[in-house]
Amino acid sequence: MEYVQERVTTLHALTDHRPAAPTGRAAVVVPMTEREYGTLAADRVLTALETVDPARVVVPLRAAPDRVGPFADWLDGFDVDVETLWCGGPRLTELLASRGLDGSRGKGRDVWLGLGRALDEEFVVVHDADTKTYSPAFVSRLLFPLANDHEFSKGYYARVEDNSLYGRLFRLFFRPLVRALGDATERREPSIMEYLDAFRYALAGEFAATTDLVSRCRIQRGWGLEVGTLGEAFAHAGFAESAQVDLGRYEHDHRSVDGPTGLADMSRAVGAATLRAVEGAGVAVEYDALADRYREAAERLIRGYETDAAFNGLDYDRAAEREQVETYADALGEPGPDTRLPAWRTAPVTPSEVADAAQADLAAARESHADAAARPPEESDRRQSAEEAPETGTGED
């Protein structure tokens, strides 16, 4: 247990005290996908939010049309004001495309839509729904700094599970990347690298902010959401108005390194968002030397992780950690086109337009689901068989 202060205000869980916080003036945004439907983790989160009693809960939902209605019905069963915002409906998709906001979809896009719906409140809290150790104290802890002269706060926690260190993308990619960038940059005040380095778990998905700050933030569309948000917080809140809070024990789902939704893919988005934030703050990045500097910084950190793991009697596979570093090094390069979504303050669409389109999409999906459920089984089977049959004339004999 310690109480060291970083460059940003750092609030520690030294006791079990649950601080008073303005939960009744806050919206909680909880992005979900259809895999969260009915899970114990999501149920625990929503049941806990019943005791928090925020002004509202916004659930940006990514799900197939035939799953949306049952999912929304399930959400309506909790004793908390939930707005289900279906992010993939045809009316909403057409609305965004007509305003020049079409493009790739991901968690960041879903959260951006949810943040727009939260702007009617004074504060907003964002967190995931896959947390196995969720506590209602998380919302209070994240909001507490906002009631005490800060505009932005971020959660942090230790990822120690199964007798091993997790948080691999943060430990082995983000932190050494920021250190490498800082080592190669002439110090200027304020430094965005020092800001990013001050957060103990910069890739945590849990944060809170005033809605005034949120309205000024551009949002990454995908996995770069967390670090992209930090870049915007640096620009609009800076060191003085930022804080991080200890959320204690925290367990959630793990990802493999490889695969279409693995950490290697995530590292590309996180790296691009980090480098875009750094360049946006006026730092010139030497890309030719970046990978080697990153490897050197990662190797120094790996030695520290190995010693820390041994000190605590944890398992540690140094070769596997080094292998991940090499995988992540391949993700380093110029960030490419800026596809961030605009700040809501200047967006070419309003939150009410988004709500109207999403609500109409949800109502239509529910009606379609009810019609399908009311059809005789033999009719449903015939329709399903016809829909699943391949188009004629396109296959090979």
What tens digit of pLDDT does each residue of 232-290 get? 999 999 999 999 999 987 776 656 676 556 788 889 999 999 999 999 998 899 999 99
Same domain, 48 and 148: yes
Q: Are 213 and 242 in contact (CB under 8 A)?
A: no
As a whole number of angstroms, the distance between CA 42 and CA 151 comes to: 28
As a whole number of angstroms, the distance between CA 202 and CA 177 comes to: 12
Same domain, 318 and 208: no
Same domain, 287 and 324: yes
Residue 396 lies in a domain: no
Same domain, 7 and 105: yes
How many Å is the Cα radius of gyration of the chain?
Answer: 22
Residue 267 lies in a domain: no
Same domain, 167 and 24: no
What tens digit of pLDDT does each residue of 51-107 get? 999 999 999 999 999 999 999 999 999 999 999 999 999 999 999 999 999 998 899
- Main-chain dihedrals φ then ψ at residue 297, nearest 5 degrees: -65, -40
Pair of tokens at residue 171: 């430990």
Instruction: Give the domain extent around 98.
Output: 1-158+201-250+354-382
Same domain, 285 and 316: yes
At residue 123, what is the residue type? Answer: F
Those residues whose C-beta lies under 8 Å from the C-beta of residue 314, and which sit 6 or more positions away, are 160, 163, 164, 165
State pTM to two decimals.
Answer: 0.89
Same domain, 207 and 322: no
How many Cβ atoms from other residues are within 10 Å of residue 238's Cβ? 15
Residue 349 lies in a domain: no
What tens digit of pLDDT does each residue of 165-210 get? 888 899 999 999 999 998 866 655 568 999 999 999 999 999 999 9
Residue 34 lies in a domain: yes
Q: Is the pLDDT of residue 385 over 60?
A: no
- HSE at residue 235, side-chain half, CA atoms within 13 A, is 19
Same domain, 205 and 88: yes
Give how many domains the chain has, as a whole number: 2
What tens digit of pLDDT does each residue of 209-246 get? 999 999 999 999 988 999 999 999 999 999 999 999 99
Same domain, 101 and 79: yes
Same domain, 176 and 127: no
As a whole number of angstroms, the distance between CA 336 and CA 283 comes to: 16
As a whole number of angstroms, the distance between CA 297 and CA 183 comes to: 9
What tens digit of pLDDT does each residue of 345-380 get? 999 999 999 999 999 999 999 998 666 665 565 544
Q: Which of 126, 42, 33 is nearest to 88 (CA)?
A: 33
Same domain, 318 and 329: yes
Residue 25 lies in a domain: yes
Whether residue 190 is preceded by a cis peptide bond, meaning omega within 30 degrees of 0, is: yes
In three-state secondary structure terms, 354 is: helix
Same domain, 213 and 304: no
What pairing do the DSSP bridges indicate for beta strands 32-33 and 9-11?
A: unpaired
